[in-house]
Each structure stands twice: as structure tokens, then as C-alpha cells.
């Protein structure tokens, strides 16, 4: 019997596993991972998986597949405190450990700053903005929460003696862009404030693409109030106001609106007689602006309506009893300290702290989730900014340099 085997031909290599082929691995991870936040868990498997899931092209596809980045926690600052910390809200195995995000306050101090007072400004699209007011030359830091990089920006001199509010925004404008995986792209910073001498609002925009601040934008009292498609809002309140020589009468309290499209400032009159009430700006279903007020146990939702004659009024939309909504019983009803800590505009949820509990309340359905919240009698009321991201490997995985894992990459 003749042996027909060709003993000189090389042995064929075994077929590759799908997990050994990057293209197949991308498709599997895109469809199999049950939650967007499990990307961080996948990044821990091995260096190859980490490289795949941190690829910006994969993140864009992943974002388009899931559409909305998950809420994984929030960054919090307590009044009088120098530091800013991350608080996770997901349950295991999706829970992101706080150590994944190093102390932002200590990171800024490690960058060579003598920290006396820092203020958390905003958290949006994978970045955190904070301002260091330790000396007369204010410095603004933009922290990339994924790579751990810090951009350091000199604040325009017009804002250096003012109470400043602001926002950090993704500058990507391509069609179909989904926020949550755009931490490495261009960004903008918007600063707004009220000039102390006459209480007139001003604004300014920084672009990472040009590395420069734009011109100072001033408020025109003749602007007609409307509901723009893309705008930022902030509350303001003053103890007293006086009429200026030119007849301009500043409001004691209200809402400052900055239209990102037209780059114009508008001052809106706030709710009458709301001193001592906790307030939070929200968006309404009609695309307008609303307010939530809290005077425990009453929670009220207000919508701002503008008539065809441009006359604006505040109308009560919903009034609820928090004891009933949250199912508080017995001693839980005796709340000593309450506060509206923040707002998640994607899910239309507000963050409410009642003594040692934190509640996330969905304003349409009034459904809520309860989280443990540590606050002692000596602690000050805090505020927070929700953090959403598809990929949260953090400095300990991404390997950022510098102090505490953060790396200074720009000084403008």
C-alpha cells in the first residue's frame, strides 16, 4: 500500500481564533458588551484588548451603536473644600472605582500650583473644567478624564476679579457625532460672569483648535429673549442692585443665557420671592428653560413661557411632596439639611441630597434611585456634575505622566 502523504509539505498553521484577529475582535466587542461602561473592564483583560477598545475609531463606532454614553458617576466639590472627588454610582461589576480618577485638586497642586481655592466649573463630554483662584492671575484647567492630560489656560484679565461660571464643550461638529468618546478631540471653554461695577454680563470663548480666547462678548439690553437651539444657562443672585447712570437696572436675581450659535447674552428675570429656596435650571420638553425649586418637603417644577409679544412668565408645571415620592418613613421625614446638588440633562434627572442620602429623581416620571451619601454635621453643602463616558480607563491604565497620573500638555 502506497503512502500518498507528501512528507515534504509544511504543516498548516491552526486556524486563528476570532479573538486573535483585531477586526473580528472589534466586531465581537461592539455587539457583545452588554453595557457601554464595560469597555473599562475589557481594557483590563490584556494590552491588546486595551489597544482595541481605546482606539478612537472603535470608540466612535461604539458610541454610534449605543447612542448615549452611560452615567457612571459624578464629580463633587463641597463648599469650603479645596479638593474635587469622583463618586461612582453604578453597581458591580460595572462600578468604576474612585481611585481610577486621581484627586483633581492634588493633580493641579502637583502641576506646580499653590492651591488655596479651586472651583469646579463643569463636567461634560469626557472633560472636567476647574478654575484656580489662588492668586490674582486666575488659571483654568481642563482635565481629560481618559488620558489624564491637563490643559492649563490663562483666564482673560476681564474675569480675574469676578465670580466666574463656565462650561467645557466638545467642539466636534461632524454629522452623526455622539458625545462620550470624544475626549481626544477639540474642545471649547465658555466663561460667563457679571461685571461687579455695573452687574452687566460678559462672556468669552476659548478654542483648543486655535489655542486662543476670542473677543469679550457683552450683553445688549435690547436683545429679544427667545429659545435658541443651543444655549448655556446659569443662575445669579445679588444682595442689592442700583440703577446705573445710563438707566440700566440690573436684576437682583435671574438667569443668564448664552446662545452658542449667535454668541449673544440675554438676562432672564427669575422667579419672584424665591429667597432661601434651592434652585436648579432644567430643560423642558418644549425645548425651553425651566426651574426646579426645593423647599423641603415641597419640590416644584416651573416652565418659562414666552408669548408672541415676547412677554415672559413663569408658570407652575408640577408640585410634589418628596416624602410621598421618595417613600420616606418615620425618622427619615425629619430632614435637617436638603440641597439640589446637580442636574443630568440627558436623562432629565436632578440630584437631591437629604441628610445622608442622595436621590436621583427623574423629573417626568418621578422615579428615583437612592445612593448612600456621607456628610457630617460639619460638612458644607456640596454640588456635583454628572459624568458620562463610553471609556473610562483613567490615568492608572492610560499611563499618563506627571503628578498623580496627570500630565500637563499645554500652557496657553
Give dist(CA 209, CA 260) in Å, integer. Answer: 17
Give dist(CA 76, CA 341) in Å, integer. Answer: 9
User: What are residue 231's phi and psi, to 5 degrees?
Assistant: -145, 155
Instruction: Give the H or E element holding residue 52.
Output: helix 47-53
Map grid coordinates 429679544 to a residue.
Answer: 224
Residue pair 250/207 in contact by the 8 Å Cβ criterion: no
- 53 within a domain of the structure (yes/no): no
- 124 within a domain of the structure (yes/no): yes
Question: Which of the 8 DSSP states describes residue 336?
Answer: S
Closest by CA to 64, choosing from 169, 176, 171, is: 176
Residue pair 159/138 in contact by the 8 Å Cβ criterion: yes
Q: What pLDDT digit, counting tens, does each position of 353-372 carry?
A: 888 788 999 999 999 999 87
Residues belonging to the chain? 412
With a cut of 50, say whether residue 405 has pLDDT above it.
no
- 309 within a domain of the structure (yes/no): no
Q: How far, CA to CA in Å, does 399 sit from each of 98, 275, 406?
A: 17, 48, 9
Share of the chain above pLDDT 70, in %: 69
User: For strand 368-372 and strand 382-388, is the pairing parallel, antiparallel, or unpaired?
Assistant: unpaired
Q: How far, CA to CA in Å, does 227 sit from each of 197, 303, 376?
A: 29, 12, 41
Domain span at 169: 68-275+384-411
Distance between the two ends of the chain, CA-based, in angstroms? 83
- 333 within a domain of the structure (yes/no): no
DSSP calls for 139-164: EEEEEETTT-EEEEEEPPGGGTTS-E
Instruction: Give the H or E element holding residue 105.
Output: helix 104-110
Give the model's pLDDT for residue 411: 39
265: preceding bond cis by omega (within 30 degrees): no
Give dist(CA 17, CA 25) in Å, integer. Answer: 10
Give the model's pLDDT for residue 191: 94
Give dist(CA 73, CA 86) in Å, integer. Answer: 7
pTM: 0.79
- 26 within a domain of the structure (yes/no): no
- 365 within a domain of the structure (yes/no): no
Q: How many CB atoms are closer than 10 A to CB 152?
A: 18
Give dist(CA 72, CA 90) in Å, integer. Answer: 6
User: What are residue 58's phi and psi, to 5 degrees?
Assistant: -65, -40
With a cut of 70, say whether residue 250 has pLDDT above it.
no
Give the model's pLDDT for residue 248: 52
Please indicate whether residue 401 or residue 327 has the higher confidence score (pLDDT). 327
Ranking 1-10, 177-186, 229-238, 383-392 by mean pLDDT, the lowest is: 1-10
From the number of C-beta atoms within 10 Å of its C-beta (0-12, 13-18, 19+), residue 319 rates as exposed
Give the model's pLDDT for residue 303: 92
Domain count, the chain: 1
- 46 within a domain of the structure (yes/no): no
User: What are residue 201's phi and psi, to 5 degrees?
Assistant: -75, 150
With a cut of 90, say whether residue 35 has pLDDT above it.
no
Give the model's pLDDT for residue 16: 54
DSSP collapsed to 3 states, 234-282: EEEECCCCCCCCCCCCCCCEEEEEEECCCCEEEEEECCCCCCCCEEEEE
- 27 within a domain of the structure (yes/no): no
Amino acid at each position: 500500500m502506497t503512502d500518498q502523504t507528501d512528507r515534504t509539505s509544511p504543516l498548516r498553521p491552526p486556524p486563528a481564533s476570532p479573538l486573535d484577529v483585531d477586526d473580528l475582535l472589534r466586531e465581537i466587542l461592539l455587539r457583545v458588551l452588554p453595557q457601554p461602561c464595560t469597555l473599562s473592564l475589557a481594557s483590563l483583560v490584556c494590552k491588546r484588548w486595551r489597544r482595541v477598545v481605546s482606539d478612537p475609531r472603535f470608540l466612535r463606532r461604539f458610541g454610534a451603536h449605543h447612542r448615549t454614553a452611560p452615567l457612571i458617576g459624578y464629580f463633587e466639590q463641597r463648599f469650603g473644600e479645596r479638593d474635587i472627588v469622583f463618586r461612582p454610582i453604578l453597581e458591580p461589576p460595572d462600578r468604576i472605582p474612585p481611585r481610577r480618577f486621581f484627586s483633581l485638586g492634588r493633580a493641579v497642586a502637583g502641576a506646580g500650583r499653590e492651591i488655596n481655592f479651586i472651583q469646579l466649573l463643569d463636567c461634560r463630554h469626557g472633560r472636567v473644567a476647574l478654575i484656580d483662584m489662588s492668586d490674582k492671575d486666575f488659571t483654568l484647567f481642563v482635565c481629560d478624564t481618559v488620558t489624564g492630560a491637563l490643559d492649563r489656560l490663562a483666564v482673560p484679565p476681564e474675569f480675574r476679579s469676578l465670580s466666574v461660571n463656565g462650561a467645557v464643550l466638545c467642539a466636534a461638529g461632524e454629522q452623526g457625532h455622539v458625545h462620550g468618546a470624544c475626549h481626544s478631540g477639540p474642545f471649547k471653554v465658555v466663561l460667563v460672569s457679571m461685571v461687579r461695577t455695573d452687574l452687566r454680563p460678559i462672556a468669552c470663548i476659548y478654542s483648543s483648535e486655535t489655542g486662543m480666547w476670542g473677543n469679550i462678548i457683552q450683553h445688549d439690553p435690547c436683545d429679544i429673549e427667545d429659545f435658541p437651539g443651543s444655549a448655556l444657562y446659569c443662575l445669579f443672585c445679588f444682595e442689592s442692585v442700583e440703577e446705573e447712570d445710563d438707566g440700566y437696572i440690573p436684576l437682583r436675581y435671574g438667569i443668564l443665557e448664552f446662545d452658542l450659535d449667535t454668541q449673544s447674552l440675554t438676562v432672564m428675570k427669575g422667579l419672584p420671592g424665591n429667597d432661601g429656596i434651592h434652585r436648579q435650571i432644567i430643560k423642558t420638553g418644549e425645548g425651553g428653560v425651566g426651574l426646579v425649586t426645593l423647599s423641603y418637603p415641597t419640590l416644584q417644577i416651573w416652565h418659562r413661557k414666552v408669548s408672541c409679544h415676547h412677554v415672559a412668565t413663569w408658570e407652575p408645571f408640577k408640585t410634589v411632596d418628596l416624602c410621598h415620592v421618595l417613600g420616606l418613613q418615620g425618622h427619615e421625614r425629619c430632614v435637617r439639611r436638603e440641597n439640589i446638588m446637580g442636574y443630568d440633562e440627558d436623562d432629565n434627572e436632578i440630584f437631591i441630597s437629604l441628610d445622608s442620602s442622595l436621590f436621583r429623581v427623574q423629573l417626568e416620571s418621578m422615579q428615583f434611585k437612592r445612593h448612600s451619601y456621607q456628610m457630617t454635621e460639619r460638612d458644607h453643602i456640596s454640588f456635583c456634575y454628572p459624568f458620562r463616558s463610553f471609556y473610562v480607563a483613567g490615568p492608572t491604565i492610560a499611563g499618563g505622566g506627571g503628578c498623580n497620573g496627570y500630565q500637563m500638555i499645554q500652557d496657553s
